[in-house]
Amino acid sequence: MFDGDFGNPASSSHVFGWEAEEHVENARVQLAELLHADPLEIVWTSGATESDNLALKGLADHYGAGHIVTSSYEHKAVLDTCKYLESKGFRVTYVVPDAAGLVQPSAVAAALEDDTFVVSVMHVNNEIGVVNDIGEIGRICRENQVFLHVDAAQSVGKVPLDVGAMNIDMLSISGHKIYGPKGIGALYVRRSGNIPLKAIIHGGGHERGMRSGTLATHQIVGIGVAASICSDELDREAPRLLQLRERLWSHLKQIPNVSLNGSETHRIPGLINVGFSGVDGEALLMALDDVAVSSGSACTSATVEPSYVLRAIGVEDSLAAASLRFTVGRFTTEEEIDFVGMRVADVVQTLRAQRDVAASI
Ligand SMILES: *Cc1c(COP(=O)(O)O)cnc(C)c1O
């Protein structure tokens, strides 16, 4: 259906352009539906990293000076953008999440200053899977006339989202986190309320002037389809993933001295982050080379430092280094869960036994 479409969606003078534009606009409708947004509120970007940059730098550029509130366990796309803005003279408060890994709305309220122009808090943390109370944070922001940006790369398609009801002004989305293509994402930008967002990529004035450049038509079609599958599947998928996660946790918690990092209740269905005290994290990962788990997030795995996210929620460095992030997804089976549960129990037991032997020599 799509192979022959080579037109530029911005070329309005010929039929090839119209067809490409139709595909792009159809995808805009599909993604907007998942967020309960208006299609005109979707700005296509190259991914959530760019969306986070656009939201924060774009607003900062308008204000020129002032104060930003975020949290200390945001994705690097937000943290590094904030660091950059600090180097340009903006002030940033990094709210520390509580021991359950949640950014308390009251802590956000307490961090607001007279010249705070934006609050940026992630909906779901990518390493520990906890879900923040964005509705309440949104209410506080609206009441204080501060814009709210939400990095929702980990929540879109996994938990219900309603940008209007949650008073969200800008929201970052990533294609590959919803089973769509890599290199495509979007920033939801509320139309009402005159958000004075300035472009960070200048050019032909595409996307309401907020993001120039020829649209990645093929990827956009992909993210649109991915979004519509999420809309259709969310209600069925969430309980299924929850059941798989609980099955995994019931395996893992039989191992002595394991702990769940982050709230057990305020979490997305498909993710747990588990600490195995007394085990070397590197050795654990190496031994589990037949299981696709990770110690932190792919985004920061070039470093062997203990996870800054786990540090931020007060997990000790040694336990942080002995923690693994497990995700279950649309294609995970019960057999795989049982396999992983047994493999991890095995490996942890072996590593602990080796440690005890080494200690006794
Ligand atoms: C993956 C991720 C990003 C980055 O998304 P890209 O589309 O890969 O740029 C940003 N924030 C969070 C929370 C993520 O999980």
Atom of ligand 1 nearest to the CA of 152: 13
Rounded to an integer, the average pLDDT of 250-277 is 96
Q: 16-25, 136-145, 206-215 — which is least confidently predicted?
A: 16-25
Find how far residue 82's CA is from the centre of its chain: 17
Return the H-helix or E-strand segment holding 85.
Answer: helix 76-87
Write down the mean pLDDT value for the chain. Answer: 93
Question: According to the model, what pLDDT value does residue 4 have?
Answer: 56
Task: Give the H or E element holding residue 26.
Answer: helix 15-35
> Would you state the pLDDT for residue 299?
46
Other CB atoms closer than 10 Å to residue 215's CB: what's the count?
20
Tokens matching residue 272: 């747990």
Residue 304, pLDDT score: 65
- Name the residue at shortest CA distance from atom 7 of ligand 1: 47
Phi then psi dihedrals of residue 264, to 5 deg: -80, -30
Q: Return the higher-pLDDT residue of 42 and 4.
A: 42
Partnered with residue 69 across adjacent β-strands are 93, 119
The answer to whether residue 299 is catalytic is yes
**Residue with CA at minimum distance from ligand 1 atom 1:** 153
Which is more confidently placed, 271 or 318?
A: 271
Residue nearest to atom 9 of ligand 1 (CA): 49
- Residue predicted with more confidence, 295 or 172: 172
Pocket residues for ligand 1 (CB within 6 Å)?
A: 47-49, 75, 77, 122, 126, 151, 153-154, 174, 177, 185
Q: What is the pTM of this model?
A: 0.94
Contacting residues for 207 by C-beta, under 8 A, at least 6 apart? 43, 44
